[in-house]
Chain A
Amino acid sequence: MTKLFSKPILTFICILLSIGQGIAQTNDTTALDTKKLKYFLNEEKTHWLAVHMYTQLWMRMNDNNPGSTIAEELEDSTYDVSVRRFRLGFQAQISDRLWVYSQFGINNLNYQSPRGTSLDLLDAYAEFSVSRSLVIGAGKTAWTGLSRYSAPNTSKLLTNDLLLLALPTDDKADDLIRKLSVFAKGKLGRLDYRFVASKPFLPSNSSDFEEETTENIAEFNDKMKSGIYSTYLKWEFWDSESNQIPFSNGTYLGKKRIFSVGVGAEYQNDALSSRKNSTEVFHDMVLWSADAFLDLPIDTTNETALTAYLGYFNYDFGPNYIRNTATNNTTLSLDNSLASFNGPGNAFPSIGTGSSVYLQAGYLFPKMGRIKDYGRLQPYAAVQYSNFERLEDPMIYYDLGINWFLKAHLSKFSLSLQNRPIYNATAQGLEVDSRKWSAVLQYIIRIE
């Protein structure tokens, strides 16, 4: 931990915080509620086009997994600056019933990225509104079922970053959560539903695809032809949330009173395969989850709020499936003689066959500053507890952090301390060997 607060990171934190203060003081006149980049297409103001853009900048100090290397030199810890996400999108209500959404973006633009990083087409889809209770759409889209944060609103989260556990096929059958899909969504009274049928992207185009099957360990294969079907049903006890875009907010910052309980599932026939006595056997992907979300304003004048989320995830990918996921990985190569089970950089086993519980909670404090607005603070904590078939010890991951909202979600800092387990193979199986820290300071700017 002492390493984390070495000189460079402290200096940068100071610089960033002072920039933040500057922004907080100068932008007071900007009204938050009006969407500035909204252009009305007709006089009745029923048809419109809106532009949004956001950037997430990361400064990070990461204790790397054992054996991580950069240019074949061991790298115990990495300090870096990166662009976690950049998005540029537009949405338009082009007729009374027709709504379209397009978005370009890029993730994980860090020091290891190739020069000339291209911008990708993330979303391009259209929706036709039959009624409030039924909207159908198709295209490349993040509409997906399973759980609340399987389609997370990445610029409006409570925690520093999204929940990998809720993205079981990310970059396997998806392209940054997006798939080529048709979907139906709507609200029936207090019930909010979504049904999605997708043509998955080929897993063989994934960076970590392995063609050879392993004895009794399931892996995604490229021979399947079937679609992925998913659904998420949510009962909204208090205020209703918007279902215009697929992404669910992490917190409404005291503006809404939300309590919702949801269930969801995802299924793909023969998605994975393993070897059993040297013949290939196929496994269906059967995932389900149940979750509850609470966003409760406490003090209405000061707009303080308590935010909490609890999710249970039961995943069956086939025998012993496990996936080490690294977010915006700090190193990509490994010295195999020193390596742990986790792999390089900041990877840890976040998804696998087994059951998991995830909890996050945060408390939003009142505005700071008497005359000037110095923004608002929101400390939070999140923990994932997983019992994966492949691992001997339970996987516990936690994240402690604080958000500093200068302009709600449009301009915010978040400082996050993440702790992950390192697994090593022993005679008993894969056991926790040690734990590593990662500290991330993020600044998000969003315009809309």
Chain B
Amino acid sequence: MVCRVTIYNTDRMRYWRTIVILLYLLVNGPCLYQLKAQSKTANKRLLFYLDEDKKQWLKVTSYAQIWARQSQNNPGSTVNDKPALNTTDLSIRRFRLGVSTQPWEKTIFFFQIGVNNLNYLSPKGTSVDVLDAYVEHKFSDYIAIGGGKSAWNGLSRYTSPSSSKVMANDINFIALPTLNDSDDLIRKLGMYAKGKIGKVDYRLVFTKPLAIENSKTFNPDPTEGIARFTNKKPNLQYSTYVKYEFLDPESNATPFLSGSYLGKKRVFNLGIGYTLQPKALWSLRNGEEQFHDLKLFASDIHLDLPLKFNPDMVITAYLGYFNYDFGPGYIRQIGANNPVNGLESSADFYSAKGNSFPVLGTGESLWGEIGYLFPPMGNQDDKGRLQPYVSAQYSDFEVIPSRIFQYDFGINWYLNGHYSKLTINAQNRPIYRNSTNVITKDGRKWMFVMQYQFRID
């Protein structure tokens, strides 16, 4: 008996010691140190001053993401009606060219053209689209008001992700609940107010959702017990995200939030947000039309900290909780940059074509990521920096009885920060099938992506 107590105490001491060390590292340890002077002079930014006071300026940005991919496709996937179990391809995930300018004091104009998912299935002559065109007037630090076609969104941190500065390989779709349904690559037509009041950073957005009938997934008829976006009641959409910045403030010059500052900032935020749209969806109940409000809530925590004992080491972590109510039984499958263009018609297949999986739906979800940035490699030559990461989504959707678990892991190799980086990512997703009125799991599939990204600004 005595002996057992002793062991128990030793165990407990070890346990407490670990906790104390971890707490020390987390609370006291992280600290911003002055960055080492870089050996090579950095390139000039593409920032042109239009006057001598430097109050009028023009900035140019451009980036491209090139994907080489091996995808295990969902059961029944086809390319031009021919079965496609696997696809190897090369594609341009994103291309952007943007201009932002402050033509006179306090007013900013932002314009961006771009294209997504230029792959072998794309039509010849892929046109570039006007993604953003908006203007913003700054009254003070507390408030700026803008309007136009923009990616200013509320709800959560990564509802407006800086897609060229994410840590995991790609954006997380759980944070983009109306993607390409009522928005155009995250962008909507709307107005917004944003600002910083002390450590509180807020954004309030109201938008006129783009007409649902122009979306690829649009189905004009309501279904019994399954909610769908409808074009019958085109109401405004309201969205807000408020975050409290415990350490360094982040820029709110553009809507996009970075996945990692690579040690240049010390960030710890807590945020909450919502999106509401009255009567955005509809379904049938006993043959009668029912309209459902879109009610989405999220809260999240973001940490991006250089360690105290070596500021060249950076821990980046994010965790978001998403509580979505789209109406009964709503579910949506998304396949990013889908490698196939068809699915055999069979009642057995529940998973959609290619690399799709159920990402969004009525229910609760968690999405998180964690990564660790190593110090620069190479003694004389700068050989870049490595950052392994993992990210995962865990969802409990109303319509799928089992929980959805999808994960990514990979490594970023920053040759020059986010300006030139190579990422290798492995993604594992669940496959579902229909079996006698219930959706059941049917194994898992992988997708491997090597991404190279360059960015000029």
Chain A residues with CB under 8 Å of chain B are: 39-44, 47, 49, 90, 92, 94-95, 98, 100, 102, 104, 118-121, 124-126, 138-140, 171, 174-176, 180-182, 198-202, 204-206, 222-223, 225
Contact = CB atoms under 8 A, between A and B. Distances in A.
3 cross-chain pairs, A with B, having the tightest CB-CB distances, nearest first: A118-B127, A41-B43, A175-B124
Interface in B73-132: 79-80, 82, 84, 88-92, 95, 97, 115, 118-128
Nearest to A88: B97
Given A94-B420, A98-B415, A225-B84, A126 B124 contact: no
Nearest to B114: A121
A121 B62 CA distance: 13
Contact of B454 (A40, A41, A126, A174): A126
Nearest to B45: A41
Given A139-B92, A222-B80, 14 more contacts: A94-B420, A98-B454, A100-B454, A102-B95, A121-B118, A125-B66, A138-B66, A138-B68, A180-B91, A199-B89, A199-B90, A202-B80, A202-B120, A205-B124
A182 B62 contact: no
B120 A200 contact: yes
Most B C-beta atoms less than 10 A away, residue of A171, A175, A176: A175
Given A140-B118, A176-B125, A95 B66 contact: no
A391 B62 CA distance: 49
A120 B62 contact: no
A95 B120 contact: no
B41 A126 contact: no
A90 B46 CA distance: 13
A182 B122 contact: no
6 contacts: A95-B43, A95-B416, A104-B128, A121-B92, A200-B120, A225-B84
B284 to A, nearest CB: 37
Nearest to A105: B125
A43 B122 contact: no
Most B C-beta atoms less than 10 A away, residue of A94, A119, A121: A121
A180 B119 CA distance: 7
A92 B92 contact: no
B95 A42 contact: no
Contacts of B420: 94-95, 98
Given A43-B41, A199-B90, A205-B123, A121 B128 contact: yes
B456 interface: yes
Most B C-beta atoms less than 10 A away, residue of A119, A125, A225: A225
Given A95-B416, A121-B126, A180 B43 contact: no
B419 interface: yes
A118 B128 contact: yes
Contacts of B43: 41-42, 47, 94-95
Interface in B320-370: none
A119 B92 CA distance: 17
A92 B63 CA distance: 12
Interface string B157-173: 00000000000000000
B452 interface: yes
B54 interface: no
B218 to A, nearest CB: 23
A205 B341 CA distance: 12
A204 B80 CA distance: 8
A344 B256 CA distance: 51
A222 B78 CA distance: 12
A201 B66 contact: no
B403 to A, nearest CB: 35
Contacts of A205: 121-124
A40 B41 CA distance: 13
A152 B84 CA distance: 35
Given A94-B456, A100-B64, A180 B89 contact: yes
B452 A126 contact: yes
B79 to A, nearest CB: 7
B44 interface: yes
B312 to A, nearest CB: 20
A119 B66 contact: no
A94 B61 CA distance: 13
Most B C-beta atoms less than 10 A away, residue of A40, A140, A175: A140
A59 to B, nearest CB: 24
A198 B127 CA distance: 21
Nearest to A174: B124
Contacts of A139: 64, 66, 92
Contacts of B46: 39, 49
Contact of A201 (B62, B80, B124, B127): B124
B68 A95 contact: no
Contacts of A94: 43, 416, 419-420, 454, 456
A395 to B, nearest CB: 26
A43 B44 CA distance: 9
A203 to B, nearest CB: 9
Nearest to B120: A199
A182 B128 contact: no
Contacts of B42: 42
Nearest to A181: B90
Nearest to B87: A225
A414 B333 CA distance: 55
Given A95-B420, A200-B120, A175 B95 contact: no
A225 to B, nearest CB: 7
Nearest to A120: B125
B452 A120 contact: no
B208 to A, nearest CB: 22
A182 B66 CA distance: 10
A129 to B, nearest CB: 13
Contacts of A171: 124
